[in-house]
Copies of this chain bind each other. A is one copy, B any other.
Amino acid sequence: MARWEPNAAERLAHAALELFAERGYENTTVIDIAQRAGLGKSTFFRHFQDKREVLFGGGTMNALLAEAIAAAPATAGPLEAVAHALDAAGGEVFTPARREFIARRQAVIAANPELQEREALKNLALIASMADALKRRGVADLTARVAAELGALASTIAFERWSRTAAEDDFSEIARQALDEVRASTAFC
């Protein structure tokens, strides 16, 4: 396996998390974060629009999910295409190597209403991104929106479970299980 090589965005995110833990979110500036990462302020702003954004990957998740939906087999139905997006999230984002980082990141978000608001808006953007990717596959507008919402709910549930399980458990498998349960639940609504 290739050694995990941090890029600028990841270095900035790690530096930000360290500083938020040491001195609090409010008492940390963008300049502090860039310095800790050994980078300049202009590099920070090339990657992130503001301090909040440093914990949200600058929109790479939207592209990752949309690309996975686009790349799903032509025969895949809407929720099966969404399952491919969740596979991609498990392969690139919610990986064993990033587990501790993600847990610390969630703790910082949970403690900061500003960050919770940004996360809520990011979640809406992810849902819109998945719905658009489904529409480009020819899925009807409303069905695409419903499938994207159900996929996002399955992802949230999978994340809750993954966060509580043993370190080796695979996010993609947990997410597919959650998606099956969510789909089955629609029959009882």
Contacts and interface: CB of A to CB of B under 8 A. Distances in A.
Interface string A69-100: 00000000111000000000000000000000
Interface in A109-135: 113, 116-118, 120-121, 123-124
Interface stretch (A22-30, A37-45, A145-153, A165-173): A145-153
Nearest to A120: B120
A185 interface: yes
A138 to B, nearest CB: 12
Contact of A120 (B124, B147, B150): B124
A7 interface: no
Most B C-beta atoms less than 10 A away, residue of A123, A186, A189: A189
Contacts of A31: none
A50 to B, nearest CB: 10
A143 interface: yes
A183 interface: yes
Interface residues of A, number: 28
Nearest to A123: B120
B186 A157 contact: no
Contact of A142 (B124, B146, B182): B182
A154 to B, nearest CB: 9
Nearest to A82: B189
Contact of A149 (B124, B140, B142, B150): B150
Nearest to A80: B189
A188 interface: yes
Interface of A: 77-79, 113, 116-118, 120-121, 123-124, 140, 142-143, 145-147, 149-150, 153, 157, 181-183, 185-186, 188-189
